[in-house]
Amino acid sequence: MTYFIWGSIVIVMLSMILVIYRLIKGPNPSDRVVALDSIGVSLIALIGMFSIMVETSFYLEIILLLAILSFIGTVAFSKFIEKGDIIERDSSR
């Protein structure tokens, strides 16, 4: 079981390296947002595998917090790309 987890960690780390390349090289901002989201998912997977390795459930709360922050960040970046502003302010006041 330990070899399987270490193999999975290596594969996820290699995929994170490729995604970081896409984050830096990305031809447009939407590719960069998808790359950031993929890094968040990969990080969640790495923490989950580490939690399995050390046989504790303490890290599951960290995974939940990271998933929520990753989702909010992806939505905020997407809205910024689409409209150019994250929080719309009413100019009539």
pLDDT in tens, 7-22: 999 999 999 999 999 9
- Residue ranges making up the domain that contains 52: 9-83
Q: How confident is the model at residue 47 (pLDDT cuts 50, 70, 90)?
A: very high
The model carries a pTM of: 0.80
Position 89 in a domain? no
Q: Which residue has the tokens 């502003």?
A: 85
Residue 92 lies inside a defined structural domain of this protein = no
Comparing CA positions, the residue from 37, 35, 61 lying closest to residue 47 is 61
Going by the DSSP 8-state scheme, the letter that residue 87 receives in this structure is S
Residue 91 lies in a domain: no
Domain count, the chain: 1
Residue 51 lies in a domain: yes
Nearest alpha carbon to residue 4 among 49, 54, 57: 49
In a domain, 93, yes or no: no
- Cα(62)–Cα(21) distance, integer angstroms: 26
Residue 4 lies in a domain: no
DSSP code, position 84: S
- Of 86 and 20, which is predicted with more confidence? 20
- Asked if residue 53 has pLDDT above 80, the reply is yes
